[in-house]
Amino acid sequence: MPCFCSSGMGVGVGVGKMRVEEDLKPGVIYELPILPVLNTGDETGAYEVTAEYHRDQPEKMPPKDWFSFNPATFSLEPGGIQQVEISLTLPLKAEPGDYFVFLEAHPVTEKGPGTTIAVAAAAQLWFSVVPANRIQAVIYRLSYFFKKYSKIVWGALIAIFVIAVILLCKRFFSFQVGVKKK
C-alpha cells in the first residue's frame, strides 16, 4: 500500500570542514570557529548541535563531554540561522594524537509511535593534541584562565595587594584618630 510522506523539517550548516592547524595542549580550553545552523525547512523547529562519530574512522574519537555548545538547543524559524559557539575543553589527561569528530546539527524530535526519519547536517572537525605532562597542562590551563579573564584577575590581584599593605601597616604602625574635648 503506498504511503505519502511530507516533511517540513530541514537543517543545514554553514561550514563543511574545520581543521585546527595549531597543535592543541592538554588542560586548555579552546574556542572553535562559530558554526552557523540553518533551518532549511518550512516549519519552525527546535534544533541542537552534538558531537558524533564515524564508526570506522582511523583518528581518535574525542569524548562528547570535551565539547560545549552555546546555545545547546534553540528554535529556528523557516530560513532562520543560529550562530553556535563551540568550546573544546581538553582535560589534563588528554591522550596525544589526531582526532576527528562530526559537529552535527539536527532537529530535536520527540519519540512517539510510528517511524521517525531524522535529518541532520554536520561539519567535519580535525585537530591534534600534543603530548604534555601534568605540570605543563596545569600551566596551560592557568595561562588560558589569566588570558581570558585578565581584567578580573588583575583587579583581584590589586585588591589582594592593597589589603595586604593595609594589614601590614596596621601590624607595624599604630594610628589613633580621635576627637578630644578641651
Residue 152 has pLDDT above 60, yes or no: yes
Domains of the chain: 12-132 (2.60.40.10)
Q: Quick check: 42 and 8 in contact, CB under 8 A? A: yes
Task: Measure the N-to-C terminal CA separation of the chain; round to a whole number of Å.
Answer: 111
What does the chain come to in residues?
A: 182
| Residue found by looking up cell 589613633 in the block | 176
- pLDDT, position 3: 43
C-alpha cell belonging to residue 157: 590581584
- pLDDT, position 6: 47
CA 24-60-120 angle, to 5 degrees, is 100
Helix axes 134-148, 150-172, angle to 10 degrees: 90
pTM (whole model) above 0.75: no
63-87 confidence digits (pLDDT tens) = 999 999 999 899 989 889 999 999 9
- pLDDT, position 166: 87
C-alpha cell belonging to residue 169: 601597616
Query: What is the overall mean pLDDT for the chain?
Result: 83
Task: With cut-offs at 50, 70 and 90, classify the pLDDT of residue 117.
Answer: low
